[in-house]
């Protein structure tokens, strides 16, 4: 009979838990995030937290778009513009926290009705 060490058994247990339970926890976390996102922000602190998450997400997306550009001044300008926009978004977020009546910025109307591009020829 083999003598298994406690650390070896713990490692196997951790691996099993990670491979079996991690996807379930990730899905539950994603669902919780969607549920949390469906509830409107009612306090200035909630609006602030949402605004800083949006600012960070916007910066991340913008920098990824800039990376698709070739190296050079155009790419540097894109990155600088993305960081400047982030700074402005963060300033707007701070204003939301200090002013309870201030709401989110850049609200556009209505839901997206179509994602298809339609070309009309004259």
Q: Where are the domains of the chain?
A: 11-40, 42-102
What is the DSSP secondary-structure string of the chain?
Answer: -----HHHHHHHHHHHHHHHHHHHHHHHHHHHHHHHHHSPP-SHHHHHHHHHHHHHHHHHHHHHHHHTSPSSHHHHHHHHHHHHHHHHHHHHHHHHHH-TT---SS---S------------
Provide the pLDDT confidence category of residue 11 given band limits of 50, 70 and 90. Answer: low
Higher pLDDT among residues 120 and 64, named by residue: 64
pTM of the predicted model as reported, rounded to 2 decimal places: 0.56
């Amino acid at each position: 009979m083999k003598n298994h060490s406690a650390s070896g058994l713990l490692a196997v247990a951790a691996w099993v838990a990670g491979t079996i339970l991690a996807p379930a926890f990730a899905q539950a976390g994603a669902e919780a995030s969607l549920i949390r996102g469906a509830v409107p922000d009612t306090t200035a602190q909630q609006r602030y937290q949402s605004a800083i998450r949006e600012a960070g997400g916007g910066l991340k997306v913008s920098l990824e778009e800039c990376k698709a550009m070739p190296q050079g001044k155009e790419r540097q300008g894109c990155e600088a513009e993305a960081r400047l926009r982030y700074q402005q978004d963060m300033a707007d977020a701070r204003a939301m926290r200090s002013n309870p009546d201030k709401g989110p910025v850049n609200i556009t109307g209505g839901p997206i009705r179509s994602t298809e591009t339609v070309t009309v020829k004259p």
